[in-house]
Amino acid sequence: MTTPSSTTPSQPDSGIVLYDTMHRQKVPFVPTTPGHVGMYLCGPTVYSDAHLGHAKKEVAFDVIRRAFMHFGYAVRYVANITDVGHLQDDSDDGEDKIAKRAALERLEPMEVADKYFWSFMNDMAALNVLRPSINPRATGHITEQIALIEELIERGHAYESEGSVYFDVRSWPEYGKLSGRKIDDQEEGTREAVRGDKRDARDFALWKKAEGGHIMRWPSPWGEGFPGWHIECSAMSLKYLGEGFDIHGGGLDLEFPHHEAEIAQAEAAGHAFARYWMHNNMLTIGGEKMSKSKGNFTTIEDVLKRHDPMVVRFLLVSSHYRSITEFSDAAFEAAKNGYRRLSETLHEIERRLGDAPDGEDAALDRKIEAHVRAFEDAMRDDFNTPKAVAALFGLSGDLNTALAAGTVGRASLERARDAFRNLGEGVLGLFAGGGTAQQDDSQVVSTLMELVLKARQNYRLNKQYAESDELRDTLTAVGVTVEDTKDGPRWRR
């Protein structure tokens, strides 16, 4: 497998710009530590199988991570796992999502968390998403969350009430700066009924008292309970990336209240927080956001039963991370055809390398260089994957023209192959699965096809045209095209 770091330049690229949600515009990226990028991504709440909307987020930030690596940066990529505290209605009321699933499946909550954590990881592996540098779990960082809550109480930004602890929103005037919402515009009761243990309905839970039947509970200075949903990300991102880390990412639906709360918690406690905020847009079905709460979701596992994982990934990278991606049969059909075109070109390049003559084609090399430059320019500009994919199609078209015209020198074919592998695989994460066994299978297929083409040539030389045509038609039926060129017959998938 090609990794982005295998082709990084000696010095990190300084020309990257990204869209910062906080400033609502593209801004130059300047890392806290030269040559290093610290990224934090809000990961899944592991109470059920992940759906295709989760795949969009994970693939989007995987590509961003890979791009930084390609441009020479060392990346620490932290993605949390929420295994406690995320309540059913995303506020401070209702059942814990994992506890509810545990009761439904008659399992321990940690069994549920582990079951769906590994399901999620298997889905990500199938989609060729790189594993995070660190995958911290909320339940493994209770001590850090309690310590952060104590800092907020000490500074006058949180209060204890009947065994629970809440963040005092009115004590922090900057609350709302990420989403652009003013505190006074957030009317009481818009998200929930006013709770008797809160000073203000807009205050959010940092620690929740565990009622009698609540299984997941830990001791704290305020009694037995469990952390609120928002506090884990502030505590864990600061622990593993440090103050003023570079990038915090997540879905657009997390901008408010989750990310807004993260910022308030960290900064009110006196800690510099994320310097850039990046959000991916949604995946829709019939114009509606795909979500578990709406019941209009399709799990990644089910999608992968019907589609090649690389076709799914190609569909996701074909739209910009800040754009909406529409899920439909037509979209998958277009993605399948587009990915096949690129894969066929790469396959033909690697097949031709087996007997390519020494030498190079200067004109073709210039075209390859131009497409590589276009790809990299697109990725520097807020990770514009649609333009990057277009550059790969341009490269594919020029290569196909050159291959159809005759023999191409080995050096030029190697440059073309490296461009496909380093950019298409290394950055976009496509063309995965080229392990040793599959390479061996490819060699076997190529050898068998050479024998088939020789047999077809013998039929033609002996004027057995019916047999020759039958052989060609059989190959066409299984997706193999035979082309007669001045250099002899060629085949492609």
Contact 311, 303 (CB under 8 A): no
Do residues 406 and 318 lie in contact, with contact meaning Cβ atoms separated by under 8 Å? no
Provide CB contacts within 8 A for 468, sequence distance 6+: 456, 459, 460
Beta bridge pairs of residue 107: none
Count other C-beta atoms under 10 Å from residue 488's C-beta.
10
User: How far is Cα 6 from Cα 254, in angstroms, rounded to an integer?
Assistant: 34
**Is-contact 461 46, C-beta < 8 A?**
no
Residues 6+ positions from 91 with CB-CB distance below 8 Å:
191, 192, 204
Q: In 251-317, which residue ranges form alpha helices assigned H by DSSP?
A: 260-268, 300-306, 309-317
Q: Is 239 annotated as a binding residue?
A: no
Q: Residue 444's Cα: distance from chain center in Å?
A: 34
Both structure tokens of 125: 């592996």
Q: In one letter, which amino acid is 381?
A: D
Helix H segments across 381-481? 385-405, 410-419, 436-461, 465-477
| Percent of residues in the chain assigned helix, strand, coil, to nearest 5 | 50, 15, 35
Query: ω into residue 132 within 30 of 0, thus cis?
Result: no
Question: Considering Cα of 398, then 399, then 403, then 408, what sign does the dihedral take?
Answer: positive
Q: What is d(CA 221, CA 372) in angstroms, rounded to the nearest whole number? A: 58
Ligand-binding annotation for 42, yes or no, is: yes
Q: What values do phi and psi take at 369, rounded to 5?
A: -60, -40
The answer to whether the annotation marks 292 as part of a ligand binding site is yes
Q: Is 492 helix (H, G, I), strand (E, B) or coil?
A: strand
Does residue 486 have a known ligand-binding role? Answer: no
Residue 305 counted as an annotated binding residue: no
Residue 295 φ/ψ region, left for φ over 0, alpha for ψ in the -120 to 50 degree band, beta for the rest: left
Length, in residues, of the chain: 493
The number of CA neighbours under 13 Å toward the Cβ of 392 is 33
The residue with tokens 């818009």 is 190
Binding residues for ATP: 292
Binding residues for Zn(2+): 42, 233, 258, 262
Binding residues: 42, 233, 258, 262, 292
